[in-house]
Structure 1
Amino acid sequence: MASPPPLLLLLQAAFLLPSAAPAAPSEVTVGVVVPGRNVSYAWAWPRVAPALELALEALEPELRNASLAVHIAFAPADKDGTCSQESALENSLKLKLSRDPDVLLGLGCDHTGDPARAWARRWRLPLLSASEFAWEAEYLPLPAFLEQLNGRFNWTPRFVFASSRQAPDFQRFFLWWLRPLARLSGKEYFFDLGNGLDEALRSIRARARVAYIHGSPEMFQQMMRLAQAQNMTNGDYVFIYLDLLGESLEAVGYRETGKPWQSKESPDSGGLREAFQKVLIITFHQPQTPKYQRFQSELILRAQRDFGVSLNDSRHKNLVASYFHDGLLLYIRALMETLHEGGSKRNTSLILEKMRSLKIHEISVTGMVSITESNRRKTDFYLWSMADVESGQYQVVAHYSGSVGQTEWLGPIPWKPAPTPPANRICVFFRDNPSCYKVC
């Protein structure tokens, strides 16, 4: 009879693990399962490792006073440089059996999220990602911002969401933020860009006023070229690009900072610049404080020193590492409070309760850090618009603060060539209206 596959044996062993007595409270192990060296992933180990190291150094006096030693145990979530579901699951199980971590961080690829969440639930361990802190976390911060944006311009009945199921893992990782969009409209209008941009635009034309687009900057530029060719950039439609890490706004060889319409083919293309006049961009808020800049510099230095990896050209992705940094700070502060009160490091529910009641600012690098009742980080977002039509320069026009749940408007949106687009254009959605025969 053939021997059972190694993964099956690991699964059996994991479920047969006895409920061992908690380890000595002076030792805490953070299990990290993320891609090993491929820094195209924003949560790759060469970014995450220095961030966790810096977090522990910031807490070193407190850890010493509490007689608490925190150890980092890493297991790769990739195979041949590509994030792999099988590798992430197998290595997380090996990590459980060999090191028995007290908290899990990262857990590999976006498409391993559900199985990984199941392991965290089974083992009753906190699950720390860049934005969530437990396996049952809900995904609400971004839709709360979108609800305010849609409400301000009365767009709520007429919006859709489009992405590609084949988008790189780096993009799809953030798709989890957007699933509750259906709650805002009562209907789930999702168009798979993998079926073709022309097909998506036809669907948008038939059903939407406002389209939220998720994908690579190059894909979005191609979509806007097609939209312009189909006369969809004259004011009847608004395209909101969900570029949460701000890739399209950063300078590359052919693109200047704040000019997402510049392309390899034509960096000075006036035509595409004109199409982007009806494009808004949503990104995570990137701190501009000296503390955050020092963190970025040290992260880049240590990645080069310890891994031989240059992160200078991908600072937007380093924001994810800062979220891991601050998430670990919040967890350890809550853990120390729990231990101080006589609790256990395996009392996950009490630790999460402590995390929900805590706010940290003095040692965090991204500003005030706090979480919601659903164990989600209260995240800030920026809304960008083309401020100068002649130059095509984008600037921030709104700042959504997750900690207070409010949007601060920093300047008008220069809608050109038309005024603020209304929710319903008669001849777009109600073509049987008699006035359309004259207007259209």
Structure 2
Amino acid sequence: MAGNKAVTYLGPGKVEVATIDYPTFSMKDGPGVHQANVGRETHHGVILKNVATNICGSDQHMVRGRTTAPEGLVLGHEITGEVVEVGRDVEFIKEGDLVSVPFNIACGRCRNCKEGKTGICLNVNPDRPGSAYGYVDMGGWVGGQAEYVMVPYADWNLLKFPDRDQAMEKILDLAMLSDIFPTGFHGCVTAGVGVGSTVYIAGAGPVGLAAAASARLLGAAVVIVGDLNADRLEQARSFGCETVDVSKGDPKEQIAEILGVPEVDCGVDAVGFEARGHGREAADEHPATVLNSLMDITAAGGALGIPGLYVTGDPGAADEAARHGSLSIRIGLGWAKSHAFTTGQCPVMRYHRRLMMAILHDRVHIAKAVNATPIPLAEAPRGYQEFDRGAARKYVLDPHGLLTTA
């Protein structure tokens, strides 16, 4: 194979589809690749022909210039594909298998992996626990918004779909298993959502909508989604959620109108560090707003699931403290209310098989909930632009035209 088209980051607001090297079973030097990983042999991996590879809000943070991502970085960590080449040391995954790739890269051998903490594997990123494809400070593993990608530790990482024809019939739903569906589900599980719960989800982007669908799957009595974007709030209402327009002010009063009381059992932050204020402050960034608001409206003894992304370096932050990930959090309020907090990457492997079964047996229609929209790989720059403008869609890149024929 001579080449491999992929989406690359060129600087704030700029992406392009370029030709990069076809993947091999050895890590090469390049933008974002940690020098300790250069030359690393990955005969435990496979090469995938990508069937679907999604644009994520986390990618958008980099493309906006809100991280320290280097120019030339190949983007993309939400990957679904067909195995076209198997490494020497792979035992169980076979050529032709159709698989979902967790966005977390995990070795399956370290203490954290063995404890199910695959989001913070100790062996894949020389800088810190945890890694992902095509992401800043995550070890430099080449991203998957491409025609082909190498996936390491294939026997451990890959989720094989049991029947290819059945999987292709539901491929847009299954494409959500690499990240946003497990991430939204994790946010709800860690917030304590269960049968009869009332839950407030901050953010109606794809992760927030996936969290809302997850809350309904978990048996929540009332799911309330808050956002500033009218189209995204309409998308949340399309599958049975109540909504709060935070541009009208603090969500507390609107929650009281829905529930009769100004608080919920469970809170989920699906916004992260680019949060805006409420009411008259909605035009400006206030990165601690969502966390402080959730503490205010979540009942004493409740929990907050925080799948929204927070970073240690934000060159575009509003103040010096926020540039280093330091926010004015009302931790005293959370302490006084005995709240539990869960942050960090979702350990996708903890959930993805069960969520796959829910999809295959029509217990959930996650692609419809997040308005999954396939576009050709060549149109990725347009997808990024429209997503950045607030489109109520989850853009799914179709590198080989296989989604349109599914």
Pairwise same-fold verdict (TM > 0.5): no
Larger radius of gyration, structure 1 or 2?
1
More helix, by proportion = 1
More strand, by proportion = 2
